[in-house]
Structure 1
Amino acid sequence: MKVTKYSGEVVTFEKDKLKKSLFKSGACEADVNRVLETIEKQLYDGIPTKKIYKMAFQLLKKIDNVHAAKYNLRSAIMALGPAGFYFEKFIAKLFQMEGFETMTNLTLNGKCVSHELDVLLRKDEKISMVECKFHSSQDAKTDVKVPMYILSRFNDLAVNEYSLFNQNTKISKCRIVTNNRFTEDAIQFATCSNMELLSWNYPVGNSLKNKVDFYHIYPVTALTTLTLLEKDKLLTQNIITAKELLTNKEWLNKIGLSQTRIKNVLKETNQLCNILKH
């Protein structure tokens, strides 16, 4: 059986790969097998992987909203676009979970030119700059030209001293974060240049997906009990993560949700953020 990827490439359908992704959502073996059995009956040669993904998501949603939300994580992060402004804020909040102080969306003068920076971090008196490369397509990759370009910006900035986080200091580290993947050349160049990378699947075992799952800091766009319009309304009010809804519950009422729907959204949020057990 052949399937068509997002890029248009035709490849062999890998049942085990789909099964693994379903297990990662937290679904039990019986539920995973039920979803697989239903999907297999609807497969045809050349079926788009996007359609398979959508079927799996809808089937999981009928079983458990939280499983569906976790399965949909990559798309939920992609929904922080299209420009990536909310993605930068989400990444800042993720680093906050790791004990960093953060600043976002600022401009600093380098030795030669000024630079717009996505995120700045401070921890143990050391300052890092973070450049976020957001992609709106699942098949897009961040290639070697990106770390080469960002390294030149870092070198221009690293020369000067700045007043940041209430101290006069220099920027000593450079990081690049993407919601998709890096090419092998990009990883090799960044490693050689002492730049830290974070992507959907890198570093292995400590990737963006791993960190989101570990800290239970899911974007508000992951919630299955909200519509796209409702999610957009929350993002414009700087409600970026699902956890923030728990301390800003009034916004669910402000965007027009009924009390019954508010109860359902908060139940999913609590379970997704590991506050309540299923």
Structure 2
Amino acid sequence: MKVIKHSGQIVPFDIEKLKLSLQKSGAAPDLIKESLAQIQKQMYEGITTKQIYKMAFAILKKASNGHAARYNLRAALQMLGPAGFFFEKFIAQLYAAEDFKTKTNLILPGKCVSHEVDVILKKDNIISMIECKFHSSREASSDVKVPMYILSRFNDLKVKKHTLFSNNETITSCIIVTNNRFTKDAENFANCSGISLLSWDYPKNNNIKNKIDKGVLYPITCLTTLSMVEKEKLLILDQILVKDLITDPQSLSKIGLSENRVRNVLKEASQICKLI
């Protein structure tokens, strides 16, 4: 059976890929088996992957909000837009969980011009700059022009001394992060130029998805018990991660949720953080 991807490409249906995505949601084997059976009954030639996703999401949500939330993870990253400001803060949180010191949204002078830097990292006396390329469309990729452009900015900044975490510090490495994917040419150019890349699925064993699961760093946008408006209010309050709501539930009251709603959100948050 053929299915239509987000990009419009027509490909054979891959049941193993669907099964793997259901497993990553934390669903039990019996639920996965039942979900696959239900979805296959409703499938037809030319169905879109978006429709398959909606069916799977609905089945998981009926069983557990926590499963549905984790299944919704990639879409949740897209909700950290539209400008990507909150995505930059989220990326800083990923690295902070790995014992990096972080700063966000800095204007730094280069040799020739000043540059806006999304995130600055420090660990073991190594200073890195991060450029975040946020895409609101799932089909969009960061092509080779992205690392080519950012390399020129990095070269302009690394020859200057900066006051970052202390005085007279030098930026010695560069990382480009996207919520989607890089093209193969972008990967090749970055590797050749000494630039590190991080995307949804790159590098293979230390990508955004891996970092989220390893550190239990799920964004609040994956929660199914909150509306988008409520999520935006929490983001404005700097509540970026689901686990932060567990330690600071008062923020839910601050955005106007009733006690019953607060309990439901915290229940889902606990489910997400325990489904590792």
Q: TM-score, normalised by structure 2?
A: 0.97
Are residues 1:82 and 2:90 paired? no
Partner of 1:216: 216
Off by >2 Å, runs of 4+ in structure 1: none
Counterpart-to-counterpart distance in 1, 2:256 and 2:114: 43
Q: Give the percent of matched residue pairs that are identical in Structure 1 and Structure 2.
A: 59
Counterpart-to-counterpart distance in 2, 1:159 and 1:69: 44
Partner of 2:129: 129
Gaps of 5+ in 1: none
Partner of 2:67: 67
Residue 41 of structure 1 aligns to a residue in which SS?
helix
How far does residue 156 in structure 1 lie from its aligned partner after superposition? 0.3
> Counterpart of 1:172 in structure 2: which amino acid?
T
How far does residue 248 in structure 1 lie from its aligned partner after superposition? 2.5
Counterpart-to-counterpart distance in 2, 1:164 and 1:84: 23
Are residues 1:104 and 2:104 paired? yes
> Counterpart of 2:88 in structure 1: which amino acid?
E
How far does residue 144 in structure 1 lie from its aligned partner after superposition? 0.9
Residue 116 of structure 2 aligns to a residue in which SS?
strand
How far does residue 7 in structure 1 lie from its aligned partner after superposition? 1.3
How far does residue 212 in structure 1 lie from its aligned partner after superposition? 0.3
How far does residue 206 in structure 1 lie from its aligned partner after superposition? 0.9
Counterpart-to-counterpart distance in 2, 1:143 and 1:114: 24
Structure ranking higher on relative contact order (CA contacts 8 Å, 6+ apart): 2
Counterpart-to-counterpart distance in 1, 2:94 and 2:166: 22
Partner of 2:33: 33
Residue 163 of structure 2 aligns to a residue in which SS?
strand
Partner of 1:168: 168
Partner of 1:146: 146
Partner of 1:177: 177
Higher mean alpha-carbon deviation, 209-218 vs 189-198, is at 189-198
Counterpart-to-counterpart distance in 1, 2:247 and 2:33: 37
Counterpart-to-counterpart distance in 1, 2:161 and 2:119: 17
Residue 90 of structure 1 aligns to a residue in which SS?
helix
How far does residue 271 in structure 1 lie from its aligned partner after superposition? 2.7
Aligned residues: 276
Residue 246 of structure 1 aligns to a residue in which SS?
helix
Counterpart-to-counterpart distance in 2, 1:82 and 1:212: 21
> Counterpart of 1:192 in structure 2: which amino acid?
C
Residue 247 of structure 2 aligns to a residue in which SS?
coil
Partner of 2:118: 118
How far does residue 170 in structure 1 lie from its aligned partner after superposition? 0.7
Counterpart-to-counterpart distance in 2, 1:57 and 1:167: 50
Residue 168 of structure 1 aligns to a residue in which SS?
coil
How far does residue 153 in structure 1 lie from its aligned partner after superposition? 0.3
Q: Provide, for residues 39-72 of structure 1, a one-character-per-residue CA deviation record: whole Å limited to 9, x for no partner.
A: 1111111111111101101110111111111111
Counterpart-to-counterpart distance in 1, 2:209 and 2:167: 33
> Counterpart of 1:191 in structure 2: which amino acid?
N
Residue 117 of structure 2 aligns to a residue in which SS?
strand
Residue 167 of structure 1 aligns to a residue in which SS?
coil
Are residues 1:158 and 2:158 paired? yes
> Counterpart of 1:5 in structure 2: which amino acid?
K
How far does residue 162 in structure 1 lie from its aligned partner after superposition? 0.7
Higher mean alpha-carbon deviation, 80-89 vs 12-21, is at 12-21
